[in-house]
Amino acid sequence: MADYDYDVLIIGAGPGGYVAAIRAAQLGLKTACVERRETLGGTCLNVGCIPSKAMLHASEYFDAAKNGAMAEMGIEVTPKLNLAKMHAQRLDAVGGLTKGIEFLFKKNKVDWLKGYAAFESADTVAVGGKSYRAKNIVIATGSSVTPLPGVTIDQKVVVDSTGALELPKVPKRMVVIGGGVIGLELGSVWRRLGSEVTVVEFLDQLLPGMDMDVRKEAAKIFKKQGMTIKLGTKVTGVAVKGSKATLTLEPAAGGAAETLEADCVLVSIGRRPNTEGLAIDKAGLELNARGQIETDHELRTKVPGVWAIGDVIPGPMLAHKAEDEGIAVAENIAGLTGIINHAVIPGVVYTWPEIAGVGLTEDQAKEKGEIKVGKFPMLANSRAKTNHEPDGFVKIIADAKTDRVLGVWAIASVAGTMIAEACLGMEFGATSEDIAYTCHAHPTHSEAIKEAAMGVRGKAIHI
């Protein structure tokens, strides 16, 4: 290795970076991973996927007990919220999983370099006053909250997702700015625990990027659950006085302003790549117009030996996308062929019901050519009906000529689990006929996928 300290040095230990580090070490490469946090796992394990799901799961039970869903099944309880304990189980999940990564680093002999990394040149980074030279450097620095100009996040009255995971008491009125994934997941948590939640979304529908049928149905479902949804509305100011906030809202298209009072304001208008302080110019790199680092399909930047993965590069900001890129980059560095299919990356919103999709939306598919669509309501699925889960549907979009599946969308209690089947099918180039003639266990929610596929061909059984 001559005068290199490492074969691979990875900056950032989120799902992209830690997975890349473990895979590189498994492939026999001398590997280090730099992380500035006290714990490994990045946004996802510390303040993202895992703690949000801990709060979503717990609050779902509370809601089912409180809103009568349990009573419908003959379980009559009056729930009492112990928020401190709910937070403790969240922290327990985070602690266990982040420690687990530390264990995996030790097991695979990955060196954790604690501190902030900054490039000194294309093959050298400084961490804590020391320089490390590596044959390959992977930038996996992730992303952080996009601020709303003029609005200060104090993590008390005005919070970002991290603050919203840790609120010490249930706010009476919560206003969520941004009807995307974070706003709907964390808005759902506090709505279930008793807040009056208003979601203010700039666009004319929630969840940009998802299929339009799904977006419209989601808005109906969240309204039915008691959320107030203000679409086509922008927040022009937030004034905080003591423990209260007054928001000024305006129609996105212009018009008369109105005000809204809140005890808590969640700013969730997107995330932006982390590159501050990284001195990427010293590596010979620059950012694109969206502040991201560009790579080719093999995850190489334009500088030989410097690679980038995860939220810091273009594409959906999702943990599983970062992880798959982590595996692929390590394999490419080791001289293997890292494989990642960016056309088949599922997206899941972990609300109740869950909202999931993979591939093209109906509008995107129509732009590419003629299509056929099959749709099956969860109301007609025996398991969903038996479980008192009538909301949602499965929708399959296929090419009209080849019948190849182009996109699958689902709203169902377990849509996040169901979508894996669609991913596998699409990865193998499945047609709707392939799915329609695949035996699905009865009674399962997944039968709705089979029936939607039958619907593409005009012959579902149960509707």
Binding site residues, ligand FAD, CB under 6 A:
11-17, 34-37, 42-44, 48-49, 52, 116-117, 140-143, 161, 182, 274, 277-278, 310-311, 317-320, 322, 350
From the list ligand NAI, ligand FAD, none, which binds 349 (C-beta under 5 to 8 Å, kind-based)? ligand NAI
Q: How far apart are CA 422 and CA 129, in angstroms?
A: 49
Q: Which amino acid is at 325?
A: E
CB 182, min distance to ligand NAI, A: 3
The candidate with the shortest Cα–Cα distance to 83, out of 171, 174, 159, is 171
Residues forming contacts to ligand NAI in the complex (CB under 6 A) are: 148, 177-183, 185, 200-203, 208, 234-235, 268-271, 316-318, 348-350
The smaller minimum CB distance to ligand FAD, of residues 7 and 311, is found at 311
CB 94, min distance to ligand FAD, A: 12
Query: If you search the block for the tokens 């939306």, which residue do you land on?
Result: 361
Q: How far apart are CA 258 and CA 241, in angstroms?
A: 18
From the list ligand NAI, ligand FAD, none, which binds 229 (C-beta under 5 to 8 Å, kind-based)? none
Contacts of 242 (CB under 8 A, 6+ apart): none
Q: Which amino acid is at 342?
A: H
From the list ligand FAD, ligand NAI, none, which binds 179 (C-beta under 5 to 8 Å, kind-based)? ligand NAI
Q: How far apart are CA 299 and CA 51, in angstroms?
A: 29
CB 237, min distance to ligand NAI, A: 11
The smaller minimum CB distance to ligand FAD, of residues 141 and 233, is found at 141
Give me the catalytic one of 87, 442, 445, 462. Answer: 442
From the list ligand FAD, ligand NAI, none, which binds 270 (C-beta under 5 to 8 Å, kind-based)? ligand NAI
CB 430, min distance to ligand FAD, A: 23
From the list ligand FAD, ligand NAI, none, which binds 235 (C-beta under 5 to 8 Å, kind-based)? ligand NAI
From the list ligand NAI, ligand FAD, none, which binds 62 (C-beta under 5 to 8 Å, kind-based)? none
Q: The dihedral of CA 297, 298, 300, 306: what is its sign?
A: positive
440 counts as catalytic: no
The smaller minimum CB distance to ligand FAD, of residues 249 and 349, is found at 349
Beta bridge partners of 161: none
The smaller minimum CB distance to ligand FAD, of residues 19 and 373, is found at 19
The candidate with the shortest Cα–Cα distance to 354, out of 177, 222, 163, 204, is 222
Residue nearest to ligand NAI (CB): 180
The smaller minimum CB distance to ligand NAI, of residues 134 and 177, is found at 177
The smaller minimum CB distance to ligand NAI, of residues 142 and 425, is found at 142
From the list ligand NAI, ligand FAD, none, which binds 171 (C-beta under 5 to 8 Å, kind-based)? none
The smaller minimum CB distance to ligand FAD, of residues 54 and 456, is found at 54
| Residues recognised as catalytic | 442
